Homo-oligomer: A and B are copies of this chain.
Amino acid sequence: MHTVNLRQKFDQFSDHWHPRIVAELNGQQVKVVKLLGEFVWHHHDHEDELFLVISGTLKMEFRDRTEVIEAGEFIVVPRGVEHRPVAESEVALVLFEPANTLNTGNVTGELTRPNEKLERL
């Protein structure tokens, strides 16, 4: 039960697409992650996800359109909805989602980061 400074958390790592857990509550987790480039198309069968942008510009691609999310903005992607995060330059992002949500959802590949292996900062 202590204060968490988001910028200090982001300063502790530099790799991309590798979330770290910074808090847990009510069966949910708060994660921080840096994005650069294009992620994979995926969806989550059982989890809604919140993406809060701290710095940079996130493009969230859906099959029929793209949302642009700037610092101080967030979007909720409901379960079942295919999406692909794209960061043309580096984005610092806070994720809020159920504990054990897999980052690549229904697909597995080189970007997959098993939740049980995620570091806690």
Nearest chain B residue, comparing its CB with the CB of A77: B1
Nearest chain B residue, comparing its CB with the CB of A22: B74
Can you tell how many copies of this chain the complex includes? Answer: 2
Give how many A residues have a beta carbon under 8 Å from the other chain's beta carbons. 34
Chain A residues within CB distance 8 Å of chain B = 1-7, 23-26, 28, 30, 47-50, 54, 62, 67-70, 72-78, 81, 96-98
Q: List B contacts of A50 (CB < 8 A).
A: 23, 25, 30
How far, in whole Å, are A47 and B27 apart by their CA atoms in the complex?
A: 10
How far, in whole Å, are A24 and B49 apart by their CA atoms in the complex?
A: 10
Instruction: Tell me the smallest distance from the CB of A55 to a CB of chain B, in Å.
Output: 10
Nearest chain B residue, comparing its CB with the CB of A83: B1
